[in-house]
Amino acid sequence: MFVRPSYLPLDDKQEVLKRFLNKDPSLWSEDQETQAAISNRLGWMDCIEDMKAHLGDIKAFSQEVKQKGIKDIVLLGMGGSSLAPLVLSSILGPNQGYPALKVLDTTDPEEIDRTKKVLDREKTLFIVASKSGKTIEPNALFAYFWDWVKGQDGSPGNYFVAITDPGSPLETLAQEKGFWRTFLNRPDIGGRYSALTFYGLVPAALIGIDVERLLLEGEKMAKTCLNTLKWDENPACILGEFLGEYGVQSRDKLSLLFDPKIRPFGLWLDQLIAESTGKETRGLVPIIGETTGIPGFYGGERIFVYTRLKSTPAEESFDGFIKELREADFPVYEILIEDPYEIGGQFFLWEMAVALASHFFAVNPFDEPDVIAAKEKTKQAIEVYRKDGKFPVKFWVDPKSNINFRASSMIAASMKGLSRAIIDLFQVLPSWGYVAFLPYLPYEDRIDEIFQDMRHLVRQEKGCATTFAYGPRYLHSSGQLHKGGPISGGYFIFTRKRAKEYDEIPGYGMSFWHMQFAQALGDFEALELAKKRVIHIHLPADYMTGLETFKRVLSRAIKL
């Protein structure tokens, strides 16, 4: 039995740091097989020196792409292979004269169609990024866009690049199809720990980001964290202790605040924290993007980390809010960034801090066991559709709102209507719980706004923490936490009816709408299997009107 540590004396913490620096896998597990797997996931600790040797090649390829006249880079990936490029593009690029980057980490048919419509086939480069080469989303996206490019060009491989591990099916595919380039990453680095490898650096370089400078910032932080041998002087140890020690004392709602310029960093951080720590009913729940309120609205399960950018004007900062939180005795940790390029250092700082915090939680930060459950349920739903031509699901129709919905067995009265199901969800949700809004919809500002309103409403009326993430993106990040982490969550999954007949994905026997719907079904079934409280809302084809209707139902139900 692996015993969870309590507050450790400094001498014991020094021993933890020593073992960490020696890459001792027993920090996270006593099982020999698990230790062997962990040992094959620690390459991120010393990969920067390797990547420095590849900088010349990466930058030279960037210039080749620019000289070829490429105007758009489309990255086809999910989770660890897509979030770091998305963050870097949002904060640091693209630079003038370089292509723009579109990270396509979805199976939403409208988002995919919207992307395709603005692309010039002859001036677009596709990056297929997948560690295993087996992930369904990038593989389906590749099949779709390969067929599109092939229809206009006799050498479609010239418009594709692969980033993957050696020996993966994607490496084989790239060789067979004649991809322009293939970048092979170190296999001993997991996806969410791969920001400072080819997965993050190649897309960044292609849009003109100074990857040498970015890697230098990562190296500076890595040297500080790996060479500072006193626990209470090591920035990663101090942050890791803050996360881990408060977390094991049931302060598991981690509110993350960022100044506007660096706010996108939260997308990457959400995956790192949720997927690394959310196991065995333990872990931290990252709360990102919530509106702020007076400290009295927050429960005793909250801790706060504020990452601030020195150049942020006072009126755009969280200084006043942080002062109020400290006066109310909430635990607050502040990180100061002098320059946006220091994000390179933040990648490493948080990787090490979360790995150390996971020791306090007594979980393995380098696996994602509960992600597999949703994948298997999705696979089953797809197989049923292919066999029967329909999905194995039945919705109830709410007589008042006319919204289709269903609820898990943990929620009692779904047949009495949607409002009653919502009431039931909150009745069984503990006061220290959280509510996750999970739409399988296109990425749209108006959708963000509607869900922000609902999050604010829930916090004000129920005092619950709230999260928001698009599907299927979240399946590769917070999806692990939802099923394996703290049992205090309630979940709303949103899908919508088909607006039209969508194009079939070549070789898949279905459209992206069908794939996305199957993924939502798979996650619902996985949450049900884990005995979680979940309501699945199936919106009309006019999903925006449907969302507004649901917001009104939620607003009334939550006040009863």
- Does residue 242 lie in a domain region? yes
- pLDDT at residue 554 greater than cutoff 50: yes
Quick one: pLDDT at residue 373? 86
Does 119 share its domain with 192? yes
Same domain, 350 and 376: no
Could you tell me the pLDDT band of residue 1, with boundaries at 50, 70 and 90? Answer: very low
pLDDT band at 6 (very low <50, low <70, confident <90, very high): low
- Cβ proximity of 442 and 496 under 8 Å: no
Specify the residue for token string 């500080």: 224
Confirm if 13 and 237 have CB atoms less than 8 A apart. Answer: yes
Examine residue 376 and state whether it is found in any structural domain, yes or no.
yes
Residue 4: pLDDT over 50: no
Cα 228 from Cα 438, distance rounded (Å): 41
- Same domain? For 460 and 519 the reply is yes
Q: CA angle at residue 145 from 144 to 149, to 5 degrees?
A: 130
Residue 1 lies in a domain: no
Are 158 and 173 within one domain?
Answer: yes
pTM above 0.75, yes or no: yes
Q: Let me know if residue 487 belongs to a domain.
A: yes
One domain for residues 375 and 470: yes
| Assigned token pair, 393 | 């699901």
Distance CA 492, CA 486 (A): 17
Q: If you ran DSSP here, which 8-state letter would residue 511 be given?
A: B
Q: Is residue 4 domain-resident?
A: no
* 493/527 same-domain check: yes
Residue ending a domain, among 192, 209, 226, is: 209
Number of domains in the chain: 3
Average pLDDT taken over every residue of the chain:
95
214-245 pLDDT, tens per residue?
999 999 999 999 999 999 999 999 999 999 99
375 occurs within a structural domain: yes
Q: Measured between alpha carbons, how far is 483 from 486 in angstroms, rounded to an integer?
A: 8
Q: What is the pLDDT of residues 196-220, one digit of tens each?
A: 999 999 999 999 999 999 999 999 9
The string of DSSP letters for 254-314 reads EEEEE-GGGTTHHHHHHHHHHHHH-BTTB--EEEESPPP--GGGS-TTEEEEEEEETTS-G
Last residue of a domain, one of 150, 178, 209: 209
Same domain, 513 and 406: yes
Q: What CATH number should be reported for the domain holding residue 328?
A: 3.40.50.10490
- Write out pLDDT tens, residues 38-49: 999 999 999 999
Residue 73 contacts residue 127 (beta carbons within 8 Å): yes
- Tell which of 169, 185, 209 closes a domain: 209
Cα–Cα distance list, 489 to 266, 418, 457, 470, 535 (Å): 20, 19, 17, 17, 12
Beta bridge partners of 406: 536
Residue 116, in any domain of the structure: yes
CA pair distance 500, 386, nearest whole angstrom: 19
Are residue 444 and residue 538 in the same domain, yes or no?
A: yes
8 A C-beta contact, residue 497 and residue 441: no
Does residue 353 sit in the same domain as residue 404?
A: no
Whether residues 70 and 106 fall in one domain: yes
Q: Exposed (0-12), middle (13-18) or buried (19+): which is 446, by Cβ within 10 Å?
A: exposed
* Strand-pair partners of 494: 439, 537
| Position 204 in a domain | yes
Q: Are residues 90 and 189 in the same domain?
A: yes
Q: Which domain holds residue 20?
A: 10-39+216-361
Rounded Cα distance between 403 and 395, Å, is 9
Q: In what order do the strands lie in the sheet with 285-288?
A: 285-288, 253-258, 302-309, 332-337
Residue 408 predicted with pLDDT over 70: yes
pLDDT digits (tens, 9 = 90+) for 89-105: 999 989 999 999 999 99
Same domain, 234 and 340: yes
Identify the CA nearest to 289 among candidates 266, 320, 314.
266
